[in-house]
Structure 1
Amino acid sequence: MTSSTTTAPSSGQTHKLAINRLRDRLGSSDAGAVERFIARHTAPIIEGRFATFLWRGDADEVLVRHRVVGLPDPVSLRRLPDTDLWYATIELPEGSRVEYHFDIVRGGVREEYVNDPLNPRLAHGPFGSSSVAAASGYVVPTWSLHDREARPGSLEWVSLRSKALRREQGMQLYLPARFRAVSRYPLLICHDGEDYLNYASAKTVLDNLIHRGEVAPLVAAFVPPGNRLVEYANHAPHARFVARELVPFLTERLPLIDRASGRCLMGSSFGGVASLSTAVRYPQVFGSLLLESGSFVFTDIGAEHGGGPVFDPVVKFVNAYRARPRPVAERIYQTCGIYEPLITPNRSMVSTFRDTGMEVRYVEARDGHNWENWRDRLRDALTWIFPGEQKFVYE
């Protein structure tokens, strides 16, 4: 966290941050300075490589919970003397995107996970919403937003009875615009499918990228989990369901390319583990894997990994794979946010994958472990895996 006298670069010179200029005006007994300041600025205030978080109201303590590895968490805000305005300044490099909440302490009672009332920008996920701090240089990708010129594909709910999982397994099936039974389509199978649709704009992304000719028209199965912490942690029945039940089920009913090169298995976090472990159990069923912030936790020595009991089967799997790495697909697109705790194990896995002879494209983002980070990587990933218009050769 920076000091209250921090300066920021501007046009080759330095100048005081806005919060410090406000403090100078308060010293001149400008009674309306805070009101004008709040009306003028959107929180957090982005100035060069600095972000200033603001909170206004009565409190005993205000803290920013940001989940950025490398910075103190939480960051304590300080109150401007004789005002109800609280502030804290952190360094936020260009292109960064950070999700955050406030903790507010009043009378010894802590209110947690409070969104920033001065910031209209929110990101959503299965556990609720978060405020978003976007540094200079970050913009929401236009291809993730609704484009009325793009012909929409369709979503339909389908299900099959899984012997492996011992239940009826439903999913949302995406068919591209202009779908034709006489054509042949690549297949994308997505773990945590409903979350990708709800929080990563997956349908909109596919509609736009296919419409623009950047991605080949494809069929996508958005599959929700049962107990994901069990089924996604190197679970043999789950892998059998995906490779031996789901792929044949879809191939028999749809005009799909019935070769590994026409199939991609994807997932984020534990879904990344599920994708890799399925491919390890059933190698060469999928030509490509798309692994976003995979929970590839491992131990070089000892047994303490810090992830708790749910990570025990993951660590056992990743340790075993690292001890005997082998090619399981033709290509892997792997990405991780540099602000998340999983950045170190993901970086370590890159050389492990490459040493097997698999082609690996690895991308880091100035972001964290969240759905908008994973959304923002989809264009680069899908145009590499299934490039559009006369670029994709199925061999």
Structure 2
Amino acid sequence: MATVVPYRPLPLDLTDVRYAHGPDSERRPEVPAGKTVELQWDTSRVYPGTTRRVRVHVPAHDGPPPPAGVMVFNDGGLYLDPDGDVRGGVVLDNLVHAGDVPYTLGVFVDPGVVVGSPQPKNRNVEYDAFDDRYATFLLDEILPLVTTRYDVTDDPERWGVCGGSSGGDAAFTVAWMRPDRFRRAVCFLSSFAQMPGGNPYPELLASTPRKPLRVFLQAGHRDLNHDAPTRNWLAENLRVGAALAEAGYDHRLVLGDGGHSTNHGGVLLPDALRWALGPRA
């Protein structure tokens, strides 16, 4: 049966489009709030000299919870903020309570800061690189902080990474490098255009045997350099989406209006997680 979408006039000016959040992004009185545990990580071997906060969000459960899945959120503080655009903890609480996703912990990881450095932000070093360092960092340093405290499943079908902008690069790269551990990637407005050496994924997707991944992409009509011949965020996301389709990947690409912001991805997060964490067809 066909789905009928109500008529909506297309805005003529798309420079400041904002999407309204749905009910799954709002705190509900009937849904018990989960608990968030904040940790500090100052002894990284993969990124020496960095410090960062890690927040583990544990949705409520009536009785002993089953082994949990894991969804890592890059730019953790931004993606956890209940008053922000993404509201990751609120969304997880609502989806887990409704049974829309399996029981899943949210691991909200801030990018590293190099204390005392003239360039203290380590975000682009960690997120934009095409290598396995960030995946190794998560698996060897951050996720043991979670697995030693909580009962977590080993099933890679229930481990994923979510991020936006450069954090979207990192989410895709983690899944690409380590599909033995992470098979779900949720990527909003990914900054493939600024990866050192250029965006490798269209060519790799065409030339590499298909990996067991499920990938959700969001792109924006007015993303950075959307009308430029080079370093075009929109074009690079569309190229990755097309390459995923042509290679036969389990994927979704959602195209919206507006610029380079967390708004549209945040509004999409509930449905993105429903789809990404659901069973394979």
Q: Does 1:273 align with 2:169?
A: yes
1:120 corresponds to: none
For 1:74-89, what aligned pairs fall within 5 Å after superposition? none
Deviations 1:52-73 (A, max 9, x none): xxxxxxxxxxxxxxxxxxxxxx
SS at match of 2:107: strand
2:111 corresponds to: 225
SS at match of 1:265: strand
| CA-CA distance at 1:386 after TM superposition | 2.2
Deviations 1:363-393 (A, max 9, x none): 1223332111111111111111224xxxx58
| CA-CA distance at 1:176 after TM superposition | 0.5
Gaps of 5+ in 1: 1-47, 52-90, 100-132, 298-310
Pair 1:331–1:312, CA change in 2 (3 A): closer
| CA-CA distance at 1:269 after TM superposition | 0.8
SS at match of 2:182: coil
Asked whether the equivalents of residues 89 and 106 of structure 2 are also in contact (C-alpha less than 8 Å), the reply is: no
Distance in 1 between residues matched to 2:267 and 2:206, nearest whole Å: 32
Distance in 1 between residues matched to 2:197 and 2:75, nearest whole Å: 17
Distance in 1 between residues matched to 2:239 and 2:169, nearest whole Å: 15
Match of 2:76 among 190, 193, 213: 193
- Partner amino acid, structure 2, of 1:279: A
1:338 corresponds to: 221
Distance in 2 between residues matched to 1:162 and 1:335, nearest whole Å: 31
Deviations 1:274-317 (A, max 9, x none): 122223332332121111111122xxxxxxxxxxxxx3516164
| CA-CA distance at 1:180 after TM superposition | 5.5
2:268 corresponds to: 377
| CA-CA distance at 1:50 after TM superposition | 7.8
Asked whether the equivalents of residues 296 and 314 of structure 1 are also in contact (C-alpha less than 8 Å), the reply is: no
Pair 1:276–1:139, CA change in 2 (3 A): closer
- Partner amino acid, structure 1, of 2:236: P
Q: Does 1:289 align with 2:185?
A: yes
Match of 2:150 among 221, 246, 254: 254
1:216 corresponds to: 102
Bigger relative contact order (CA 8 A; separation at least 6)? 2
SS at match of 1:239: helix
| CA-CA distance at 1:322 after TM superposition | 5.3
Gaps of 5+ in 2: 1-7, 113-121, 227-232
1:239 corresponds to: 135
Pair 1:146–1:348, CA change in 2 (3 A): same
Distance in 1 between residues matched to 2:189 and 2:209, nearest whole Å: 21
| CA-CA distance at 1:239 after TM superposition | 2.7
Structure with greater Cα Rg: 1
Q: State the percentage of identical aligned residues.
A: 24
Deviations 1:115-136 (A, max 9, x none): xxxxxxxxxxxxxxxxxx55xx
Pair 1:50–1:294, CA change in 2 (3 A): closer
Distance in 2 between residues matched to 1:265 and 1:50, nearest whole Å: 32
| CA-CA distance at 1:336 after TM superposition | 1.3
Distance in 1 between residues matched to 2:128 and 2:252, nearest whole Å: 24
Q: Does 1:164 align with 2:60?
A: no
Deviations 1:179-221 (A, max 9, x none): 7555111100011111112322222222222233323331010
2:119 corresponds to: none
SS at match of 1:351: helix
Deviations 1:79-115 (A, max 9, x none): xxxxxxxxxxxx15xxx7x53xxxxxxxxxxxxxxxx
TM-score w.r.t. the length of structure 1 is 0.57
Pair 1:50–1:378, CA change in 2 (3 A): closer
- Partner amino acid, structure 1, of 2:30: E
SS at match of 2:196: helix
| CA-CA distance at 1:332 after TM superposition | 0.8
SS at match of 2:103: coil
Equivalent pairs, count: 250
Pair 1:331–1:323, CA change in 2 (3 A): closer
- Partner amino acid, structure 2, of 1:221: V
Pair 1:347–1:379, CA change in 2 (3 A): same
TM-score w.r.t. the length of structure 2 is 0.78
Distance in 2 between residues matched to 1:372 and 1:185, nearest whole Å: 28
Asked whether the equivalents of residues 251 and 258 of structure 1 are also in contact (C-alpha less than 8 Å), the reply is: no
Distance in 2 between residues matched to 1:169 and 1:290, nearest whole Å: 22
Pair 1:210–1:283, CA change in 2 (3 A): closer
1:151 corresponds to: 32
Pair 1:273–1:179, CA change in 2 (3 A): farther
Bigger proportion of residues as strand = 1
Pair 1:247–1:353, CA change in 2 (3 A): farther
